Structure 1
């Protein structure tokens, strides 16, 4: 990949131009719909892994080229990763956004405030990290009412790597906390309370972060 691209859409548009393709001819060669391919070039939709596999195979791309494309798609799924800056060893104390999570609801996060947190000196965090405060019944034996949990974003190649973990996802600009699971080989997002239906992971689901560290716990 000779040029630096900011998204898979940019890469695909450049690819079409350099290879003298049209959307119609490329869609025909790859056996995909014109509409889907058009959305990929505008960034309205993010292709699934099966498309990338077929794309790389058809054009005989190297493993390195394929991995570079996958890296672009990962950035598209989590655009905040483009501007990640480590705060470790900086003098200033991080000011993090705090979201509340009502365990009686559907897992929707509500923004509460921005607060200054004094964190352990050896804890490396990023500017896109934030805090989730639990309100209501405990979510699991290890997560109690009043707990404040650090949420951090990680690069991952497959949802299998997050199996069993509690993650924050974005659906239509709303953030939800769900637990990752699998059913018939498909990645699903499960309700933390068991009251809502499971959600099948697709291109409309944006990964935001993973519950990682207990920041504070109320003593009753």
Structure 2
């Protein structure tokens, strides 16, 4: 199925008699990459989108439309169906685009130390925006220890915790432990907390077991609401 951006780009090229070579030159991109975007094989990255808007888009309204359709193309199929259902009903909850801060990276394997650095803002489609908490944020997953639940490069939306370690048993969470940041599934037992990888290779991805006084060094920043896979 062709992406919305692919359809938009194709119509723009036909209307203005643009060639792939011209689009590639104006956006400082390779011919093959632009061809993939037009065919819907790939979804454009943020830097391409902004260069495309700068060169070809004249109004803020149309620029927002471009950002929306790219965000839509990146959205999981389940959310897309809800978005489309909303557009075809009289429901007052309409699909919107929202912007969330990306607070660095959380490792599915070894920890990262750069969490809580606001590296950029990410535009995405929401169904509806009120379903995403106002103080939600995103982190980028690195490593494959949470595969198949999460993959390297995924962006995950995090629902911040109002209270430390509240109602997180069994959930995938972003946690800091000794100044390292992880994204793991949490299992709370009577005298310990385990940070568990979903990857079945337990020899490579063993549980992180935290007990006793070590628990004071563990902080949960929030649980995963959903993931958005980047292409």
TM-score (norm. length: structure 1): 0.45
TM-score (norm. length: structure 2): 0.43
